[in-house]
Structure 1
Amino acid sequence: MAVTFYDLGSAAGLKKLDDYLLTRSYITGYQASKDDITVHTGLSKAPSAEYVNVSRWYNHIEALLRISGVAGEGSGIIVEGSASISKGAVATPPAGDSKASAAADEDDDDDVDLFGEETEEEKKAAEERAAAVKATGKKKESGKSSVLLDVKPWDDETDMKKLEEAVRSVQMEELHWGASKLAPVGYGIKKLQIMLTIVDDLVSVDNLIEEHLLQEPINEHVQSCDIVAFNKI
Structure 2
Amino acid sequence: MAVTFGDLRTEAGLKALDEFISGKSYICCDQFTKDDVKVYAAISEKPSGDLYPNASQWYETVSAKLAPSFPGKAVGVSLGGQGYPAEAAPAVESKEAAGGDGDDDDDDLDLFGDETEEEKKAAEEREAAAKKSAKKKESGKSSVLMDVKPWDDETDMKKLEEAVRSIEMPGLLWGASKLVPVGYGIKKLQIMLTIVDDLVSVDNLIEEYLTVEPRNEHIQSCDIVAFNKI
- Compute the TM-score of the two structures, normalised by the length of structure 2: 0.40
Greater percentage in helix: 1
- Compute the TM-score of the two structures, normalised by the length of structure 1: 0.39
